[in-house]
């Protein structure tokens, strides 16, 4: 028998239908959509068939399914992919929201010992169990808002011991929770107190990375990506290059914060190093954009950050016109407290001037590409993992049009063919 039958959906948004690993330029302007569709997930949790309701009914008549869902009047979409989050931390920073509303900038707060450093202190004090419990709750919120694959960064530990604590929490989540996780080592998220950026970079290269490599070799911890906060007053371009290079040599995918508050030539560096992705890019240069397009280095845009901090919006239109692979992330962290990719897509459309198809491609296939997982995730295609959302609306665009109360609209979240 088969695992799951989704029958008679008003629309099934395939996103890509011809095995594309990403959608850029004109290809992102229109998505593949089937009307009156059904979909079958095999016992292994992967998509077995997708097609018109009539064709699927004929093809599978007399066969058995563990579960069937009548999708009449509803839409099936791929599970959403969140390409950038910082979900492991303790200590609320709601007081900083008040400071920002009163006019303080992100760097004002950072330099006064708030921001990342505040969260580092609280996270160091928290036990592994506490961190796991809050991570679990946060991932559950994300799942309910439709995210089935999420990138999770460390980066509030900074010392080797404390980074390992965070990474173990992420590893446990990866093994125990239903949501898919792409794990990112972000030990260079901030310069720890009492060290210079240069000393911190040396410590990472000489001590952190070899330890992570050893844990990986022993199968104790799986890490996918390496990240650095490349920013004035944090890690400069040279430190960033050395750290990312070290990560690349041990087989990690490069996916880092760049050109956010100041132009740093981070996009150019990403292209040079063969990065999978550079995030933020509010201050990216024109040559950086061209270099990223040429190198197939994706841009992970984070509309929540620009919205929250009232920054310049990243130039999504320019990137799309130049053929950059544009992905989206929530940037969930104590600064941008947003769990919901539908909200992120909404902001991407209104503030970044993306179209709804571009935003959905960015939050599915292109986000999966940014994580190196678009061969298994991010679209409805035979052979891909059975991760879906079922939206209670007759047109899929309601997922982006509506802002707020997403759990009312998203009736089912399904991972590997199982309803969550």
CA distance 331 to 406: 18
The three-state secondary structure class of 54 is helix
Cα atoms in the Cβ-side hemisphere of radius 13 Å centred on 379:
27
Q: Is 339 in the site for ligand NIG (CB under 6 A)?
A: no
Least Cβ distance, residue 147 to ligand NIG (angstroms):
17
CA distance 67 to 55: 19
14 versus 340: smaller Cβ distance to Fe ion? 340
Binding mask 80-119 for ligand NIG (x = CB under 6 A): ------x----------------------------xx--x
Q: Is 260 in the site for ligand NIG (CB under 6 A)?
A: yes
Stretch that binds Fe ion, among 6-14, 282-290, 326-334, 358-366 (CB under 5 A): 326-334
CA distance 244 to 188: 10
Q: Which of 20, 331, 358, 387 binds ligand NIG (CB under 6 A)?
A: 331
> In angstroms, what CA-CA distances link 400 with 11, 158, 351?
15, 36, 13
Least Cβ distance, residue 302 to Fe ion (angstroms):
7
CA distance 358 to 28: 5
CA distance 304 to 278: 16
Span 330-349, contacts to Fe ion by CB under 5 A:
331
Q: Which of 257, 265, 373, 377 binds ligand NIG (CB under 6 A)?
A: 257
77 versus 181: smaller Cβ distance to ligand NIG? 181
CA distance 179 to 134: 15
CA distance 344 to 362: 10
Least Cβ distance, residue 311 to ligand NIG (angstroms):
10
253 versus 305: smaller Cβ distance to ligand NIG? 305
Q: Is 283 in the site for ligand NIG (CB under 6 A)?
A: no
Span 215-244, contacts to ligand NIG by CB under 6 A:
229
Residue 119 binding: pick among Fe ion, ligand NIG, none (C-beta 5-8 Å cut-off by kind) = ligand NIG
Cβ atoms 335, 106 nearer than 8 A: yes
Neighbours of 230 (CB within 10 A): 28
CB-based closest residue to ligand NIG: 335
38 versus 333: smaller Cβ distance to ligand NIG? 333
Give residues with Cβ within 8 angstroms of 26, minimum separation 6.
none
Q: Are strands 253-258 and 2-15 parallel, antiparallel or unpaired?
A: unpaired
* DSSP per position, 283-310: T--HHHHHHHHHHT-EEEE-HHHHHHTT
16 versus 335: smaller Cβ distance to ligand NIG? 335
Binding mask 278-317 for Fe ion (x = CB under 5 A): ----------------------------------------
36 versus 232: smaller Cβ distance to Fe ion? 232
Across-strand partners of 414? 388, 419
Least Cβ distance, residue 331 to Fe ion (angstroms):
5
Centroid of chain to Cα 168: 19
Give the binding site for Fe ion (CB under 5 A).
331
Give the binding site for ligand NIG (CB under 6 A).
86, 115-116, 119, 229, 257, 260, 305, 331, 333-335
């Amino acid at each position: 028998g088969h695992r799951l039958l989704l029958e008679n959906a008003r629309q099934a948004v395939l996103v890509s239908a011809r095995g594309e690993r990403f959608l850029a330029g004109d290809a992102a302007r229109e998505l593949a959509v089937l009307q009156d569709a059904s979909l079958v997930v095999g016992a292994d949790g992967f998509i077995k068939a997708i097609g018109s309701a009539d064709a699927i009914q004929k093809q599978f008549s007399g066969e058995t399914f563990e579960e069937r869902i009548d999708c009449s009047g509803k839409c099936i979409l791929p599970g959403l992919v969140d390409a950038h989050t910082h979900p492991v931390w303790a200590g609320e920073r709601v007081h900083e929201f008040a400071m920002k509303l009163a006019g303080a900038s992100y760097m004002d707060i950072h330099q006064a010992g708030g921001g990342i450093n505040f969260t580092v202190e609280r996270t160091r004090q928290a036990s592994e169990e506490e961190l796991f419990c809050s991570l679990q709750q946060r991932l559950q919120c994300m799942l309910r808002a439709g995210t089935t694959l999420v990138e999770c960064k460390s980066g509030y530990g900074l010392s080797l011991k404390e980074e390992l604590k965070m990474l173990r929490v992420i590893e446990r989540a990866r093994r125990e929770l239903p949501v898919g996780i792409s794990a990112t080592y972000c030990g260079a998220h901030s310069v720890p107190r009492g060290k210079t950026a240069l000393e911190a970079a040396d410590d990472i290269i000489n001590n952190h990375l070899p330890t992570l490599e050893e844990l990986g070799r022993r199968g104790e911890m799986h890490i996918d990506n390496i990240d650095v906060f490349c920013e004035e007053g944090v890690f400069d371009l040279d430190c960033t290059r050395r750290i990312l290079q070290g990560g690349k040599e041990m087989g990690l995918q490069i996916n880092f914060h760049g050109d956010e508050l100041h132009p740093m030539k981070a996009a150019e560096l990403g292209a040079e190093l063969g990065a999978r992705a550079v995030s933020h890019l509010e201050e990216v240069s024109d040559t950086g954009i061209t270099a990223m397009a040429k190198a197939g280095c994706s841009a992970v845009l984070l509309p929540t950050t620009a919205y929250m901090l009232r920054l310049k919006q990243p130039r999504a239109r320019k990137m799309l016109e130049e053929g950059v692979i544009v992905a989206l992330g929530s940037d969930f962290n104590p600064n941008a407290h947003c769990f919901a990719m539908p909200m992120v897509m909404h902001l991407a459309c209104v503030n970044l001037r993306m179209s709804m198809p571009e935003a959905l491609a960015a939050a599915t296939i292109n986000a999966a590409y940014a994580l190196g997982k678009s061969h298994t995730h991010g679209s409805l295609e035979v052979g891909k993992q059975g991760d879906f959302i079922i939206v209670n609306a007759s047109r899929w665009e309601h997922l982006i049009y509506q802002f707020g109360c997403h759990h009312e609209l998203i009736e089912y979240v399904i991972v590997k063919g199982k309803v969550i």
